[in-house]
Amino acid sequence: MAGRAIFSVSSCPPSLCIPYSTASFSSVNRLALPAVRISPRTNRFPRIHCSLSANDIKAGTNIEVDGAPWRVLEFLHVKPGKGAAFVRTKIRNYVNGSTVERTFRAGISVEEANIYKETKQFTYKDGSQFVFMDLTTYEETRLNESDMGEKTKWLKEGMECILLYWKDKVIDFDLPITVKLKVVDVDPGLRGDTVQGGSKPATMETGAIVAVPLFINVGEEIFVDTRTGAYMNRA
């Protein structure tokens, strides 16, 4: 025989009770919670925009300076014998790729750049545009070749990359650290000092030129570090 549970709900003073209705809930929600916009493109909550202290700056921090997003590459907290402490940084502009040195007084507020990442698959090139696809929604994102820099020489169809967004616009993308590429052209007659570990230039399937050991031949696949463009080992 099935049991039967009995629940009792105690009454509460009128001053503490909130009538259950759409209008009342919306009113309370507006008063108690900050407004958060859900992006229809990503269907997710964006990060809440906030400030941070210059003392919290470190390598990898994303900050907004002069209305543009920057990534902190290097930082140094300086406490001089006289005068106020400060933070010396080297920062890179996400939009144009420029790198500058910037000094911030210790303790001041710095706007944190609201940058978020999404994984996309590079599917194909359409003229001067590179097309990336979201494997969940199948939504396409197109990036102009002129805005992508030299990273395109490592791109292969089917490669998963991380796209960085700022204010709903793609400002940069990250490649996998290691990529496997096929050698399509190399001078088989080039010789060097094998004892000293000689190398020769080789053309990859993507058009990139990589210095490879003398024993590498056309048709072989190798692993390359996309950060440095250096040969790692045979695939």
* Torsion of the alpha carbons at 8, 10, 16 and 22, rounded to the nearest 10: 30
* pTM for the model: 0.66
pLDDT one-digit tens code per residue, 28-51? 343 333 333 333 344 444 444 567
Q: What is the pLDDT of residue 222?
A: 97
Q: Report the alpha-carbon distance of residue 184 to residue 187 in Å, rounded.
A: 10
Residue 132's contacts (CB-CB under 8 Å, 6 or more residues apart) are 120, 121, 122, 123, 140, 141, 142, 143, 161, 163, 173
Q: What is the pLDDT of residue 53?
A: 85
pLDDT tens for each residue of the chain, 235 residues long: 444 444 343 444 444 333 433 333 333 343 333 333 333 344 444 444 567 888 888 898 999 999 999 999 999 999 888 888 999 999 999 988 889 999 999 888 999 999 999 999 999 999 999 999 999 999 999 999 888 888 999 999 999 999 999 998 999 999 999 999 999 999 876 554 454 568 899 999 999 999 999 999 999 999 999 999 999 999 8
Query: What is the DSSP secondary structure assignment for residue 39, as one 8-state letter?
Result: B
